[in-house]
Structure 1
Amino acid sequence: MRFILHYPETNGTSRDMLDLGPLDEVAAAAEKAGFDAISLTEHPVPGASWLENGGHQSLDPFVALGFAAAATTRLRLMTNLVVAPYRNPFLLAKAAATVDKLSGGRLIIGMGTGYQKSEFFALGVDLAERAALFDEALDVLPLHWRGEPFSYKGLHFDARNVIARPKPVQDSIPIWVGGNSGRARRRAAEKAQGWLPMTASPQVAQTAQTMAITSQEQMATLIQGVKDAAAAAGRPGPLDFTSSYSGAQAAIAPNADADRHREEWAELEKIGVTWLIISPQSNSAAETFGFIEAFGGTYLS
């Protein structure tokens, strides 16, 4: 099992996102503590009412991960997740290739279709086209990263004999498909290197316009389904699967039952989970750094 530190999310608009810790220092601390990756989310222009009712701010994930890369040497850099339909796929591919190149091959792209109508409207993207735009991105990204001439006609573009350099260090950059739907799982099985499910209550899942995953048994069944679909598609290689750990704070609380948490994670590993996303609930930079040190000392050393 490998561990991802999700940079703490700042809710509302009353505080600056970096109040929870300078990103370069947080990334360096995560690497020192033994985390395997750091992740950031994406909301380029969220609705004000969403922010006022529990929504969270975000940095541009590629710019921020490039900054984190400069402060670290081995930490993987993950988007959790980038909304592919928001961008022309060639610009998305170039941003990803740049971070991967500058970091020495450490990028992982968690990528989803998005759900916030206000952002789609603000960015001029047709919400009804999001599935088709996502599928275009899955096709275009590997073509772009090959560094060889190619052509591709999409819904709103026609690339004719184009080429992109530099190539990323990785061949190719891992793509983890986010989302719980059957279509998301098929994409992960047939065209990606991992599946990034969202463990959520029915209420949260309804807001995100996706299927709820509410038990480990359900997760086990879905993971096996993705593996079976990948094998049927002639892709026998290993896939990565993530799980978000909702008890992150409890895992480092005074007198926490560390062995119980380890047992829970071992059970997740048995059903195929390869990466655990740890999201600290922090209110200050001091709390963020305290969490990282305590979690690393307890579980990662």
Structure 2
Amino acid sequence: MTTRLRFIFHYPEGAGPDSDALAAGPLHEIAVAAENAGFDGFSLSEHPAPGARWLSSGGHQTLDPLVALSYVAAATRQLRLVTNLAVAPYRNPLLLAKAAATLDALSGGRLVLGLGAGYQKSEFYALGVELAERNALFDEALEVLPLHWSGRPFSYRGRHFDARDVIARPRPVQDPIPVWIGGNSRLARRRAAERAQGWLPMSGTAQLTATARTPAIGSLAELAAQITEMRSSAETAGRSEPLDVAFSYPDRSLTDPAADADRHRAAFAELEKAGVTWVIVSSGTREPAATREFLTAFGETYLRAAD
């Protein structure tokens, strides 16, 4: 890739059963601060009905990402608006497509639709979706999204719906809206290579990836090999457009961006060498003043210095 490494700020989620999804500060103010600091994107996760047991063991609350990113779009000018991740099987794909097209149109073409298959049994039960169908429903969504966004008549019979000669407007500004596929499995990489515009691998501990029902990535060398394999598969499938890779930076010491900056710069450079095009960082704090301080320090240390 010839483009520079870009950075996404992920709004910190509140952890625990009594957490506040907005504890890190007013969303529009934090988004503006991220844009002013030099971040290229702003991301939000999704858990519409998190289970109490999961919250008690460290799980987190979230906003509705598509609704909240619409609010972010109104407050900012250039930030890419990233769902990290929206769970495709939770929604009828036509509703997902309509919400995404609306946000892309209203924001002037700034949406990046990160999608995952989902993993929380309790949420699937709460939403009336069969966990066993999650991969089939995910694939349906990947087929329906471009049909809906085309603005042309189409029909599609899914497992639980039957769209007959429908036409959906408005068309999104982007053609297509970039879809990034989340997850570490071979299936996730194949979906990204064949049907999407990017891959969102999950970093973190083996316990975290086990909870999320996805394999752990053991090393940077393994990540690099998987990126190479994915892009090679895309070429074999006849795709010539570049595939983005957005990786969540796993080093928790980044809470103080100015500390040990040379080591972090070296780590970012190694990620770029491995094929990563976007790095997702968060502040590690859920207090508004500290979040703003993080954004200012990160921008001064890594973003403005690179311009």
TM-score, normalization: structure 1? 0.97
Letter of the structure 2 residue corresponding to residue 197 of structure 1:
P
Say which SS state the counterpart of residue 20 (structure 1) adopts.
coil
Letter of the structure 1 residue corresponding to residue 269 of structure 2:
A
For residue 65 of structure 1, report the CA deviation from its aligned partner: 0.1
Report what 1:211 is aligned to: 215
For residue 185 of structure 1, report the CA deviation from its aligned partner: 0.7
User: Deviations along 1:216-248, whole A, 9 cap, x unmatched?
Assistant: 000001000100110110012100001111225
Determine the C-alpha separation between the residues in 2 that align with 1:223 and 1:51.
33
Note closer, same or farther for the CA distance 1:41–1:77 as it changes in structure 2 (3 Å cut).
same
For residue 19 of structure 1, report the CA deviation from its aligned partner: 2.1
Determine the C-alpha separation between the residues in 1 that align with 2:203 and 2:295.
23
Query: Aligned match of 2:118 in 105, 114, 128?
Result: 114
Report what 2:279 is aligned to: 276
Letter of the structure 1 residue corresponding to residue 268 of structure 2:
W
Determine the C-alpha separation between the residues in 1 that align with 2:21 and 2:231.
37
Runs of 4+ in 1 over 4 A off after TM superposition: none
Determine the C-alpha separation between the residues in 2 that align with 1:209 and 1:114.
9
Determine the C-alpha separation between the residues in 2 that align with 1:176 and 1:22.
27
Report what 2:71 is aligned to: 67
Report what 1:169 is aligned to: 173
User: Deviations along 1:123-161, whole A, 9 cap, x unmatched?
Assistant: 000111000000000000011001110111111111111
Say which SS state the counterpart of residue 5 (structure 1) adopts.
strand
**1:189, 1:230 within 8 Å by CA — same for their partners in 2?**
yes
User: Deviations along 1:163-205, whole A, 9 cap, x unmatched?
Assistant: 1000011011000000111111100000000000001222211
The reply on whether 1:290 has 2:284 as its aligned counterpart is: no
The reply on whether 1:180 has 2:180 as its aligned counterpart is: no
The reply on whether 1:220 has 2:224 as its aligned counterpart is: yes
Determine the C-alpha separation between the residues in 2 that align with 1:110 and 1:186.
15
Letter of the structure 2 residue corresponding to residue 258 of structure 1:
A
Farther-moved stretch of structure 1 (190-199 vs 279-288) = 279-288
Determine the C-alpha separation between the residues in 1 that align with 2:257 and 2:270.
21
Letter of the structure 1 residue corresponding to residue 280 of structure 2:
I
**2:255, 2:284 within 8 Å by CA — same for their partners in 1?**
no
How many equivalent residue pairs? 300
For residue 214 of structure 1, report the CA deviation from its aligned partner: 1.9
Determine the C-alpha separation between the residues in 1 that align with 2:201 and 2:23.
29
Say which SS state the counterpart of residue 19 (structure 1) adopts.
coil
**1:44, 1:58 within 8 Å by CA — same for their partners in 2?**
yes
RMSD: 1.1
**1:248, 1:279 within 8 Å by CA — same for their partners in 2?**
no
Determine the C-alpha separation between the residues in 2 that align with 1:40 and 1:253.
21
Determine the C-alpha separation between the residues in 2 that align with 1:278 and 1:102.
26
Query: Aligned match of 2:92 in 71, 88, 107?
Result: 88
Report what 1:50 is aligned to: 54
Determine the C-alpha separation between the residues in 2 that align with 1:253 and 1:147.
45
TM-score, normalization: structure 2? 0.96
- Gapped runs of 5+ residues in structure 1? none
Q: Work out the percentage of aligned pairs sharing the same amino acid.
A: 63
- Gapped runs of 5+ residues in structure 2? none
The reply on whether 1:246 has 2:250 as its aligned counterpart is: yes
Determine the C-alpha separation between the residues in 2 that align with 1:15 and 1:84.
25
Determine the C-alpha separation between the residues in 2 that align with 1:251 and 1:25.
20
For residue 13 of structure 1, report the CA deviation from its aligned partner: 3.0
**2:257, 2:301 within 8 Å by CA — same for their partners in 1?**
no
